[in-house]
Structure 1
Amino acid sequence: MKNLELDLGERSYPILISRELVGNSALWLKYIAGRQVCIVTNETIAPLYLDNFKALLGEKEICEVILPDGEAFKTLATLQQIFDTLLENNHNRGTTLIALGGGVVGDMCGFAAACYQRGVQFIQVPTTLLSMVDSSVGGKTGVNHPLGKNMIGAFHQPNCVLADLSMLETLPDREFSAGMAEVIKYGLICDAPFFKWLEDNIAGLMRRDGGLLEEAVYQSCLNKARVVAEDEREGGRRAILNLGHTFGHAIETAEGYGNWLHGEAVSAGMVLALALSVELGWLDESVLLRGKQLLQMAGLPVAPPENMNVDQFLQLMGRDKKVLDGRLRLVLLKGLGVSVVSSDAPENTIAHVLRVAGVRA
C-alpha cells in the first residue's frame, strides 16, 4: 500500500492507494464519525460495487442515491436528488456522504456535502483513473452550467480518499486513456523526471501493469497534494493544475458535456497550450513534440474538434473561471516541468495557434 497525506493543517486527510483497499474496511471505517451514511453513486457503478460496499458498513444507517451516468447530468437538477434523499431519510449534520464513482459523482457528492446543512463530512472512493489522480484530491466540488463547466461549486475537503486500484479492472479503455491525460499533465507542469518515467513505461501502463499503475497514481497524487497544500483555494500556484483546461473546457462546452470526455478535451487543450508556449518563444519545440507523442501513445486526441471555429473558442475561453478582471489567464510552459500562469498571450497569437491546429477561422 502507498499512503500519503494532503497537509492542510486541521483539515489534513490521507490518500490511500492499493489494490483491494475497500474490502479492508478496518483502514477506513474510522473516517465515518456518525451512524448515518449516504452513498452517492451512478447507474454504471452501482451494479458493480454498491452492494458489496454497503455490506462493509456494518450497523450504519445507510441510504443511497443512484445518479444517471455522464457529464451531461452534472447539473443542479441532478444534484437535487441527493438533497431529496438526505431530507427524506432525516439525515442530520452528523451524516457522512460517500462518493462511489468517477469525477462527476465525486464533484456532485462533494458539493452536496458542502451545502447540506451548511456542510457535512464526506469520503471519496474514486472508481476511474482520472478521479483517482485528479478530481478526488484537493476539495474542488461543483456542477456544470450550460454556459460553462464547473461554474457553480465550492471548496470542500473530504475526510479521506480511497484509491482502490482493483476497481480500474472494470474501467473501459477510453475512460482509462482519459485518466492518463491528467497523469501526463503532472509531468509537464512540475515533474520532469516523472514525465521521463512515463515515456519509458507508457506501454506497460496502457496494459494496466499493477506495479506501474500504483506508482503512476501515487506520483500523480503526490504532485497534486504538494500543490494544493501550498495553495488550497487557487489563489496562485494551484492554477498550474489547469494546464490545457481553459482550451479543454471550451471544447467540452461547445461539443456538449460528455461527447468529449474531460481527459480527451484536456489532452487536446494541453497540446494547444504547449504550442502557444512555443509560439511565444518560451518553450523548445521538442517538448511540444514529446508531449504530443506521449499523449498519442496513451490513446488520446492531440487536435481540437474540426467543427469549432476560432471566435467560438475565444468566446468560450473568455467565460472560464480563470479569467480575472477581463484578462484570460492561461497555464503555459517555460520548460519541461516548468509552468507559469500568464495573462501575457495576445488574443491574436492565441487565434493564430488555434488556426495552425486546424480550428476554422
Structure 2
Amino acid sequence: MLVLGIESSCDETGAALISDRDGLLADALHTQIDMHRAYGGVVPELASRDHIRRAVALVDDVLQKAGKTRADIDAVAVTEGPGLAGALLVGNAVAHAIGWALEIPVLGVHHLEGHLLAARLSDPAPEFPFLAVLVSGGHTQILKVERFGHYELLGETLDDAAGEAFDKTAQLLGLPYPGGPAVSALAEKGTSGAIELARPMIHAPNLNMSFSGLKTSVLTAVHAAEDTSDETWRANLARGFVDAVVDVLAAKLVRAMRQTKLKRVVVAGGVSANKQLRARLTDEVRRRKGEIFYPPMRLCTDNGAMIAAAGLARYEAMTPEEREALRRQTGFKVRPRWPLETL
C-alpha cells in the first residue's frame, strides 16, 4: 500500500510517500522561515498563500523521486489539525482533490500524532508502550503512549510552550527567527551557572510545566544588564535560559518514568533537535537503564513523512467497514484546535 502524506499546519509545506512494505520512499519539504523572519514570527495569511504555491509541486516532486505516478497512490493522509486554519485548509483542499480525482480514501491526521510516530521512522524504531516528551513551538506535553491511537496526557505546559519561550528569548537577545537554533548556538559559547534564571514548577509534584515565568526572568535579566551588547553576557544569558528549559523537562521526564515505571522514551517535536536537550535527556534515561529514541534530525520539524506514517498506521487499524465509509465520504473539515487525547 502506498500512502501520500501532506503537511501544511503552519510554516512548512511537506509531502512524502510511504509504503507498507518498503517504508519511506521519498519526502520533500519547503520551509517559510526566510519569508516570516522579517516579521519575527509566522504571519498566517502569508503562510496560507505560500502553501498554495508549494503543495502540488511538492507532491509531484516526491512522486518523481520515488519513481511513482499519481495512479500508484492508494490513499492520502493530510494534517487535519491542530494548526492555522487557513494553512490547514490549503493542505486539505489539495489532499481531497487528489482523493476525489483518483477515487481513493483521504485520512485526516492529527499533527501531534504524526510527531509521536516520527520516531518510528528511525532505525531502530521504538516499540509500544513508551513515554513521549513532545516539545515544539506550540506544544509541550508528556504522554503515555500505550499503543497506536491510545494517548494519555500526563502533563503539559500551563501557559507558553518551550518553543515559544525560545522565540521570545531570541527576540530579547536580538537573534533571528526562529529562536531555537539561534539561542542554542549562542548558548554553546556560554557558561552554565553564570546567570541563574527561574525554573517554574520544577519541584511541583505533578507533571505540568510553565515557561511564562522563565520568559519574565529573561526579560528582568535584560533590563538589569549594564551592557546587553556584551557577547559574553549574551552567551551566558542564552546558556542560562537553555539550562532552565532543559532542567524542567528533565525533571518532569524523570518523575514520569518513576510514576509510570516505563523506561522507553520518545522525544519528538521541533525542539527535540536541540543539542543540549538531547544530551541531557539521553543521559537521564540511560542512567536509569532506559531506552530513548528521537526522530531522524530532518524529521523533527513539521514534515510530510510523519503524516504519511500516521495515516498508514491509522488505515491499517481500521475495520473493513470503516475503510469503506472512508472511501465514500464527501466533504472535509479542519480542526485548528484538536486535543490529542480525544483521538
Q: Which has the higher contact order (CA 8 A, sep 6+)?
A: 2
Using the size of structure 2 for normalisation, the TM-score is: 0.24
Using the size of structure 1 for normalisation, the TM-score is: 0.24
